[in-house]
Amino acid sequence: MSRLWGGRFEGGLDQIAKAFSFSIEIDQRLYPYDIALNRAHAKGLNQVGVLTEEEWVALDTALIAVKQEMDDNVAGLMDDDEDVHSLVERLVVQKVGSIGKKMHTGKSRNDQVATGMRLWVLDTIDPLKEGVVGCIRSLLQLALRYEHQLFPAFTHFQPAQPTLLSHHLLAYVSMFERDLTRLEHARVSADCCPLGSGAVVGSGFPIDREFVARELGFTRVTDNSIDAVSDRDFLLDLLAMAGACMVHLSRLSDELVLWSSPLIGMITIGDSYTTGSSLMPQKKNPDIAELIRGKTSRVNSAWLTLASVIKGLPLAYNRDFQEDKGIVFDAVDTLMQALGCMEGMLQTVVFHPHAIEAHMQKGQLLATELADLLVKEGVPFRDAHELTGKLVALADREGKTLADLSATQLKSVSPLIPEGILAHLTMGSAVSSKNVLGGTAPNQIRDRLNHLIRIYGG
C-alpha cells in the first residue's frame, strides 16, 4: 500500500510539494493516541457487526504489535508515510493484509486527527499540573524559610511599603494557582470525543459513539460533526493557559534577574542555574531566568499564531489545521521545560537579609504608615498625606529616614503632629497593621501558609 488516497490520481506528489506538506516528522509523536483510537474504533465496528470477531481480534493484535514496534523505535519510516495516520495504517496492513484495509471504515483522518490531538492534550494536563505544583512547592519552601523576613514592596519598581518576603513570594503562588484552574478548564475543553464525525457529516456506519468515547476515556462526545472536525478551541484554551503561565514564570524570572544583580544583591542563584562569561571572569549570569523570560514571547505568540491559522477558514476541515501541531507542541514543550527549570532554580535561591534590610532604609518605605498613624490621631487622611509629604521632603534633605526625625523637626512641619508618634513607626508595626484578608500581617501570612501546606504539603 502506498498512499491512502491513490485511486483517482495518476502521478505521485511532486517532491517539493511532498516535503512541504508531509507532517510525519512533527505528528509521529501522536502515535500512541492514533493507535488507541484505532483500537477503540475497531472495537466499535465489531460491536455493530461491521467487523467480525476474527477481523477485530486480528486488527487489535496488529495495533498492539505496531505500538510495541513504535515504542522500540524499530518501525521504520518510508518515503510515502505522509502523517502518523497513514503510517499506522500502513504498518497494520503490512501485518494483517486486507483485514488492515478495513480499519478505516466509517472514519476519516479528519475526525481521527481531532481525536488524537484531544487525547494528547488530556495526557499533557497532568504533567503540566505537576510542573506548576512543583513551582508552587519551591515557592512555599522559600516562603516558609523566610516567613518573617521583612522586604520592600514596590510599585513602579520604587520602594513602596514594607512587607514580608513570604507575602511577596506567595503572590506568585496565587498566580500559579490560577494556572491550575486554567489547566482544569483546558481539560474540560479537550474532554470531548469527535470520533464518528467522519470527514464532515458523520460516520456512515451505526457506531455507538458513546461506547467508543468511553473506551478512550472521554466523558463526552461532540454534538455536531461539522464543528467536531474543525474545532481547535481546545488547543486555544491550552495555549491560553500556557501563555498565562509563562507570563507568570517570566515575571518571576525578571525579579530573580534584578535581585541577583550585584547592584541589588538581595539573592544568590545557585551555580547549577547560572553561567559564567567567556570573557569576564567575575560574571555569574542568570541565563536560565533570562531564557524563561525570553522564551515567553514564543509561547505567548502561539495562541495568536493558531488563532490566525483558524480565523479565515470555511467550515469544516482544511489542511491549514495541520499547522496546529508544531505550534502547540513547541509551546507546551517550552512551558514544561520552563516549569522544571523554575522549580529547580528556586530551590537554589538564597536571600541575603543584610542587603534586603539595607535597601529598606532607602525610599522612605514608612511614609504611608506615618500618614496612617496621623489618621489614627484624628487627622483627616488628605491632610495627613500632605503633612507626611512635607516630612519626607525634610528627611530627604537631611539624608535621614522618617523614623530618625527629631521631635523639633516634626513640630517645625506642623504642631498637629503628636510628639512620640515616631515611637510607633517601625517596619514591624507597619507590616502587622495590614491585618486584613490578603494583607501582609504575619498572622494573615501564617493562615495562608497553613492553607497552602494542607494542599501542597510543606
Which residues contact ligand ARG (rule: CB under 6 A)?
23, 27, 83, 109-110, 113, 317, 319, 321-322
CB of 316 to ligand ARG, least distance (A): 10
DSSP reduced 3-state for 82: coil
Does the annotation count 23 as an active-site position? no
- Match 474532554 to its residue by C-alpha cell: 191
* Residue closer to ligand ARG (CB basis): 259 or 317: 317
Q: How far is the CB of 162 from ligand ARG (least distance, A)?
A: 55
Catalytic annotation on 301? no
Residues 31 and 86 sit within 8 Å (Cβ to Cβ): no
Find the shortest distance in angstroms from Cβ 253 to ligand ARG.
34
* Distance (Å) of CA 328 to CA 18, 128, 158, 180, 250: 22, 13, 38, 18, 19
Return d(Cα 444, Cα 413) in angstroms, integer.
36
Cα gap 261→264, rounded to integer Å: 5
Report the C-alpha gap between 274 and 292 in whole angstroms: 13
Pick the catalytic residue from 2, 174, 277, 406: 277
Q: Which of 171, 110, 109 shows the shortest CA–CA distance to 140?
A: 171
89 versus 255: smaller Cβ distance to ligand ARG: 89
Rg (CA), the chain: 31
Least distance in Å: CB of 99 to ligand ARG? Answer: 23
Give 27 or 179: the residue with its C-beta nearer to ligand ARG.
Answer: 27
Between 177 and 323, CB nearer to ligand ARG: 323
Name which of 205 and 329 has its Cβ closer to ligand ARG.
329
| Phi then psi dihedrals of residue 147, to 5 deg | -50, -45
Non-local CB neighbours of 439 within 8 Å, separated by 6+ positions: none
Provide the minimum distance between the beta carbon of 23 and ligand ARG in the complex, in angstroms, as a whole number: 4
Q: Decide: helix, strand or coil at residue 405.
A: coil
Residues marked active site are found at: 156, 277
